Amino acid sequence: MASPRLRAVVNPKLKDPLADRFCEAVLALKTVEECYRFLEDVCTVGEFKAMAQRLEIARLLFEGHTYDEVARRTHASSATISRVRRFLEYGADGYRLVLGRLGARPAVRRSPLHPH
């Protein structure tokens, strides 16, 4: 099994005082209900649904499902699935961090999240 990749530095394009404050606001939420209430005020329903869909795509890929299975379950386009896969494999490890904390089990690797 591959060792976890830790990235010590946050992407400088994201990091600024307003982004810090936003992250602190998310961390201050204590329940799912509070999270819904905050996100309803912060983003559109479409933006919220898209983020939820991307997390589900990441979970399914992480657990070893094929692109076809992911598309069938999430109704996501192949472009969205590919983008999530790319971030899951080569991103900042945010998906892996959250999925691990949510109890997702990584697939036994055949090849790195091969589409089929």
Domains of the chain, residue spans: 14-43, 45-116
Has this prediction a pTM greater than 0.85?
Answer: no
CATH 3.10.20.740 for domain 45-116: no
Mean pLDDT of the chain: 90
Which of 7-11, 23-27, 46-50, 92-96 is predicted with the least confidence, judged by mean pLDDT?
7-11
Residue 77 and residue 37: Cα distance in Å, rounded?
A: 28
**Rg, the chain, Cα only:** 15
pLDDT in tens, 79-110: 999 999 999 999 999 999 999 999 999 987 65
Residue 77 and residue 24: Cα distance in Å, rounded?
A: 32
For residue 1, what pLDDT is reported? 44
Q: Give the number of C-alpha atoms closer than 13 A to the C-alpha of residue 70, restricted to the C-beta side.
A: 29
Tell which residue, 73, 80, 90, 36, has the closest CA to residue 54: 80
Tell which residue, 59, 90, 95, has the closest CA to residue 74: 59
